[in-house]
Structure 1
């Protein structure tokens, strides 16, 4: 399939099907030369679409607008934009070729659910140093056996700018640039059918292994998570070390339970184990769209399509907003969500024969400009659409990286939803932390919990 191929039919009418285990042809010098020219430095199509509804990429948003104060949330650089049209359950069929099945299901189920579609702004950008590393390492990047890892790289955020196998866009998402190191304060809360919720607050520490002075061999990232509220589970903590090549070594994880005062190895912090404090509304590998080993699924690259996805959701970062004004019965306040037309990579995952997972099938829609998952539909063992996951993308112009203003997963069967990573009532995230490797040792679980 040419890099510029676009799906015009329903989402899953495949033009191409490539399994994760397919042989990966390393990028040629001619391929690499396209980065920064007809392809953006991360591999997206630089040009806009034929009718101009998707503009050309011209470098993205790399500087804060006037008046930006991180303590108040992001200033919306596109605040003057007006919606081009609004999609509701009544007119959803008119736009079905630009929507995922999960979006249509939400529009049909909830009369108050709507999608306000704005002009497309291709704001995604990374620091130049990240572009340099991508170009330096992408030519040698190679899938590990079965697609279960990435070899021949050290620090790139996009190992596969021109994906040829279904799992490659997933690795691009897993490895996308998050600012190197951070300490983040966020919330996650399951919402009841009547709209009531209790915030679960977390402090998270993250480091890309290449940002540490002395990372262990075969490491992609380190992650530490401490629950600070509600009091019933405050003090619970999780630590994980994720490898680059998961054929050589699987994820290492530990948990700390304040009641037992014990640090335990935790192989269950992966796959479809339920997330802490989520009322079973997400799995461990739902976090951040997808994380961990991809080995339980066969991955197929369906192709690329134009799709209406959440984008430039600066309204949702306003520190003046309280969570109670965002969370509504049935769904979040859709007046706060901005949608735009963008090109996405479509990847379909189905459980391998002989393996098990709560989700028998998962469809991922990955933004071409950022390699971040923008939308995800997940199906149960009967083939029924079960959970619909939306991600509210923004460009963090302070750190020069695409990011989320939050995300929400709707459970169509339970008629509930789970909100994650909102920061409106939290302290600002701290980036550029000077972490030592000891910050991510099992002993640190006790220290941060006491």
Structure 2
């Protein structure tokens, strides 16, 4: 009897360990990378209809009009013409290729339209990132029931052959944007009457230590410092770090107040706290379509689906705000939509957890160049539709998904986050010393 009890305990311990650690793929599975799959795990072949082309390496040559170091990326596909236009009259014809958020926009706004262009698989990566991604396939594992990953993961997409929703979400959190950026951006809210309000202007320095070898703390995968410029908030500085093991070390955030002349810990810079510059349309874990810890939702991998998403939307970043931001929705003539295969992850709020959202459905481009999110309220009604602005950085090269826009389908307003047409674009800056992102540096650099 005692031996049986011991065996039962041992079996339960093994089961618990299996739940805590998600194993990497086998060597045999990883052999598909670079053959039938790209090195980052996308299907190399196009679709059978020919509407999604074969992947051929992405876009790595800047157009002739590009000025090195400017941060402004001319549209490499400016001569493309739309293949077709989706309107409220013909939306049913394309319903199987649209997100629920997209379909809701057609229902709410009869004059809404999508201009759909040829699919360009433009996402590209440096060789070092591709090599690290292939290595990660067999060395990266999730721990803490999917909430964290092992520190052996470095320098590439962690799970090029994902098996779970958590792994796909970690791919989003860690996919390659670039190494560091310095930029000046603006944020806008457009209310239900069509009035456009600039709600924020700021400079920011972003770094991804996960992709940098010479960093002090390899457990930090992302850090950002943002300095406010608008009159009512000038001098405010915000900084936060995200970690590979957020169970052990959660997001660390600080805010410097020039009025109080001190730095305070900012625990509210997380989860469903509304961001102050989005008019309540976006939460902190909506930033870059999703950011932060995975612990409040269950993430289920629903598979892949062909969907029409914003892609290669350079015109949206090159167009001035007064021409881009129209009543009810972003100017359709300045938005580019394409058909891509996407990983679909359904997230539902865990029992006993609190959040403004009851459910979110994520659509992540298989090449990691685009993304969308359907957001549902507590009554399971679709509430918000979020879209990333895909503008691959061909000069690095890197997919780039750093701007986004979110529609509130209930109150009729929307926000556009991180617009740079008036401010010089996304410049590839320089690596900052780790001390730059500390509370002491914030206090020293703040306006007094």
Q: What's the TM-score, normalizing by structure 2?
A: 0.91
Deviation string, structure 1 residues 407-450 (Cα, Å, up to 9, x no partner): 21000111100101211001233325131110111112223332
Which has the larger helix fraction?
Answer: 2
TM-aligned CA deviation for residue 206 of structure 1: 1.5
Question: Relative to structure 1, is the Cα distance of residues 275 and 86 closer, same or farther in structure 2, using a 3 angstrom cutoff?
Answer: same
Greater shift in the superposed pair: 129-138 or 93-102? 129-138
CA contact under 8 A between 2:21 and 2:146: conserved in structure 1?
Answer: no
TM-aligned CA deviation for residue 253 of structure 1: 1.0
Question: Relative to structure 1, is the Cα distance of residues 27 and 262 closer, same or farther in structure 2, using a 3 angstrom cutoff?
Answer: same
TM-aligned CA deviation for residue 237 of structure 1: 2.0
Runs of 5+ unmatched residues, structure 2: 1-17
Greater shift in the superposed pair: 98-107 or 271-280? 271-280
1:285-296 → structure 2 map (5 Å cutoff): 285-296=285-296
Aligned to 2:27: 29
TM-aligned CA deviation for residue 287 of structure 1: 0.5
TM-aligned CA deviation for residue 337 of structure 1: 0.6
1:402 aligns with one of 386, 389, 399: 399
Greater shift in the superposed pair: 381-390 or 193-202? 193-202
Runs of 5+ unmatched residues, structure 1: 1-19
Aligned to 2:310: 310
1:269 and 2:233 correspond: no
Structure-1 separation of matches of 2:119 and 2:72: 22
User: What SS is found at the alignment partner of 1:404?
Assistant: coil
Structure-1 separation of matches of 2:247 and 2:136: 20
Structure-2 separation of matches of 1:90 and 1:23: 49
TM-aligned CA deviation for residue 141 of structure 1: 0.5
Aligned to 1:222: 223
Aligned to 2:51: 53
TM-aligned CA deviation for residue 44 of structure 1: 0.2
TM-aligned CA deviation for residue 196 of structure 1: 2.1
User: What SS is found at the alignment partner of 1:401?
Assistant: coil
CA contact under 8 A between 1:146 and 1:295: conserved in structure 2?
Answer: no
Q: Which of structures 1 and 2 has the bigger CA Rg?
A: 2
Structure-1 separation of matches of 2:145 and 2:349: 14
1:402-441 → structure 2 map (5 Å cutoff): 402-404=399-401, 406-441=403-438
Deviation string, structure 1 residues 206-260 (Cα, Å, up to 9, x no partner): 122242634225221221112112x112222211111101122111111112221
1:35-434 → structure 2 map (5 Å cutoff): 35-69=33-67, 71=70, 73-199=72-198, 200-210=200-210, 211=212, 213-229=214-230, 231-318=231-318, 321-370=319-368, 374-404=371-401, 406-434=403-431
Greater shift in the superposed pair: 411-420 or 196-205? 196-205
CA contact under 8 A between 1:32 and 1:135: conserved in structure 2?
Answer: yes
Structure-2 separation of matches of 1:281 and 1:355: 21
Q: Which runs of 4+ in 1 moved over 4 A?
A: 20-23
User: What SS is found at the alignment partner of 2:167?
Assistant: helix
Greater shift in the superposed pair: 22-31 or 430-439? 22-31
Superposed CA RMSD: 1.8
CA contact under 8 A between 2:313 and 2:389: conserved in structure 1?
Answer: yes
CA contact under 8 A between 1:239 and 1:253: conserved in structure 2?
Answer: yes
